Amino acid sequence: MKKIYFLIAFCCSVLLHSQERYFLNSDTRLYTSASSSASFLGYFKYGAEIRLLSGSQNGWYKVQADNFNEGYVQESFVTTRLNAKDVKIKDTENPILEGGDAYYGGNHLFVLVAGLKARALPDKNSKIKEILFTGDPVAVDYLPVNQDEWVNINGNFDEEYARYTLRKFIGLRPSFESLLKDFDKLDVNAVSDRKTVSERIVELAWNSEYAKLEPAYQRYYEVVKQINDPKLISETEMNMALAKGLAKHKLSEQIIAFTRKIGFLLGDIKTDTPMPNFTQKQLLKFYGDPDKKVKISDECGLYLSDLFYYYPNLEISVDEKKNKAEVIKVYVSPNYKFILNTNDFLDNSTSEKAFIEKYGTYIEASLKSPHNYSIIMEDSQFRIVFKDGKLFSVEIFFYC
């Protein structure tokens, strides 16, 4: 029923004032009645979009916030256009942070909990749109006072893009050092609490500099051993190896020099360049006709053309008119190998942990893309994917 109610409210509000978009040219609050001395439901930040639910009534509009809260704002704060000359009145009690703090460019707060589910609608049973991590910045233009109210954390009325979570799960950015202290104070037998805090520590470490990953995983590993889950222990040990490598990350010029030694073994053909290329005639001679040819939109003009040849182990960009072919992706196997450091041949028998232990100082990694790594080049990068603990594919990805 809640979901139906929100959809009805959304559709009705679209019908009213549908020709214009309205914004607030100042910090203000959502009042319960048309008076600045009335109680209020939440805080607006400069730039917040609203929907008008009525015409002007004695200098006030009834409006709807982006989380469907309804109340009143002063007419003088409502505009159809924002500009640099706006005289912004700041509310010193408004908890929402302005952009430009090295974490986010617009109005925002931070995720406070681990594995936060962002919903499609302000309803705990609605579709999960995204999983967010401790320390992730989220866009917030309106913040309700009630901790159990929903917040739109994408600052967008559009149903396709809107994301919602509860107010109590976002706030000022957590302190990594404070979380470490909180964990260290917990009773060693309070396994559930230790697990919750250590998960937050790990996620926040990933949202900080690489140097914080080792102390984060050390705490988490203590809990994992208490839980005694062999799979979780194995995964954590691999992540500890990754943290160790990332903490000693090479300089960009060292990594670029390293990539110049990268090559591939593609069946019977060994290449000594990071980006293997052939003439189209050579391609057909070496590998025969492709299993399929597909045209893919290439708006950035990154590839030779929008035509791709697909083989069991290769994806190749081909310009048939210019007789050129360039390997874009390799699915590794015993005969198709990724060559690192001139003579280290990696194939589908290469384990993820062995790769991390040997090359962890050269790679980039993210908690949001587990088992996916990258090695940065000057105008592109290698995307290296592992599946079930073994090397699966290597893709050459160009920057748009």
Q: What's residue 19's pLDDT?
A: 59
Q: Mean pLDDT across the stretch 255-283?
A: 91
Tell me the pLDDT tens digit for each residue of 156-171. Answer: 888 889 999 999 999 9
Tell me the pLDDT tens digit for each residue of 384-395. Answer: 999 999 999 999
Tell me the pLDDT tens digit for each residue of 64-80. Answer: 999 999 999 999 999 99
Q: What's residue 10's pLDDT?
A: 47
208 band by pLDDT with thresholds 50, 70 and 90: very high
The region of weakest confidence among 81-85, 280-284, 292-296 is: 81-85
Q: What's residue 333's pLDDT?
A: 97
Rounded to two decimals, the pTM is 0.86
Contacts with 32 (C-beta within 8 Å, 6 or more apart), sequence order: 38, 39, 40, 41, 71, 72
Q: Mean pLDDT across the stretch 130-139?
A: 96
16 band by pLDDT with thresholds 50, 70 and 90: very low
Amino acid at 66: D
d(CA 26, CA 202): 37
Q: Mean pLDDT across the stretch 9-23?
A: 60
97 band by pLDDT with thresholds 50, 70 and 90: very high
In this predicted structure, the answer to whether residue 17 has a pLDDT above a threshold of 80 is no
Tell me the pLDDT tens digit for each residue of 327-365. Answer: 999 999 999 999 998 789 999 999 999 999 999 999 999
Distance of CA 90 to the CA centre of its chain: 30
40 band by pLDDT with thresholds 50, 70 and 90: very high
Q: What's residue 167's pLDDT?
A: 98
Q: What's residue 298's pLDDT?
A: 81
Looking at the chain, the whole-number percentage of residues with pLDDT higher than 90 is: 82
Q: Mean pLDDT across the stretch 273-279?
A: 88
Q: Mean pLDDT across the stretch 314-323?
A: 95
Q: Which of 17-21, 187-191, 396-400 has the highest mean pLDDT?
A: 187-191
In this predicted structure, the answer to whether residue 87 has a pLDDT above a threshold of 70 is yes
Mean pLDDT, the chain, as a whole number? 92
Rg (CA), the chain: 27
Helices (H), 87-229: 176-185, 191-206, 213-227
Q: What's residue 249's pLDDT?
A: 95
Phi, psi of 319, rounded to the nearest 5 degrees? -110, 100
Q: Mean pLDDT across the stretch 221-245?
A: 96
String of DSSP letters for 42-104: EEE-TT-EEEE-S--BTTEEEEE-TTS-EEEEEGGGEES---TT--PPP-TT--PBPS-SSS-
Distance of CA 329 to the CA centre of its chain: 23
